[in-house]
Amino acid sequence: MKKVLCVAFAAIMMASVATAAQGPETSPYGIGYQGQYAGEFLSHASLRMRPMPIGGQLMLGHWSGDFSDVNIGEGDLYSITGKILYSLVENNYSDFYVGAELGYWDLDAEQGGNDLDADDWLYGPLMGAEWFFSENSQVGFNFEVAYMFNDIEVDTPGGSADVDLDGVNVTMGIHYYF
């Protein structure tokens, strides 16, 4: 019995090593989640094309809720963001990439009985990494850091304001590749 278990264990180990040496054999197209931390996670549905060496990502988001922490009532926040990615380092189970991001965010809310509309065009460079497990190479985990430039226009019945807000943006995601 010990010999059978040893042979079975050796066969499993050799198969794992052979599979790991081959690398992931999945499509570069995936779907999943991308979250941005901004006090709370702002979640996006994400379509992703793995950078091999060029890829991209499209993110769509919608949030509805109470913005009372910032002196605004209930409202809706919509976003659409696109990214172009270029892989600098490609390994069997990881990629390191750089890229650029362009997006649009729209906030429709109520403040003191008046309508509040804020539009945000954002753009900037990014860098990130994505990792895959050899046991399940169809699932990728990614982490990105970007420096974003935001051009925000706020319209209220009392007037409008332009706000330029620049800073570091961090996102994390998980995607399933078909």
Give mean pLDDT, residues 108-124: 88
Q: What does the pLDDT read at residue 112?
A: 74
CA dihedral for 120, 104, 78, 174, sign (positive or negative): negative
Rg, the chain, Cα only: 22
Q: Which residue has the higher pLDDT, 64 or 38?
A: 64
Q: What does the pLDDT read at residue 16?
A: 44
Q: What does the pLDDT read at residue 70?
A: 64
Q: What does the pLDDT read at residue 75?
A: 85
Q: What does the pLDDT read at residue 3?
A: 54
Domain locations along the chain: 2-177
Got the DSSP string for 112-172? Answer: TTEEEEEEEEEEEEEEEEEEEETTEEEEEEEEEEEEEEEEEEEEETTEEEEEEEEEEEEEE
Cα separations in angstroms, 23 against 99, 169, 173: 24, 31, 21
Q: What is the CATH number of domain 2-177?
A: 2.40.160.20
Residue 95, judged by CB atoms within 10 A of its CB (0-12, 13-18, 19+), counts as buried
> pTM score, two decimals?
0.77
How confident is the model over 2-48, as pLDDT tens digits? Answer: 554 444 444 444 544 444 444 456 688 999 999 887 666 678 999 99
Burial annotation 154-169 (CB, 10 A radius, 16+ → b, else e): eeeeeeeeeeeeeeeb
How confident is the model over 74-114, as pLDDT tens digits? Answer: 889 999 999 999 999 998 899 999 999 999 999 898 877 78
Q: What does the pLDDT read at residue 156?
A: 78
Strands 114-133 and 136-156: antiparallel
How far is the C-alpha of 129 from the C-alpha of 135, rounded, in Å?
Answer: 19
Q: What does the pLDDT read at residue 81?
A: 96
How confident is the model over 126-147, as pLDDT tens digits? Answer: 999 999 988 888 999 999 999 9
The amino acid at 7: V
**Two structure tokens written together for 30:** 């995936």
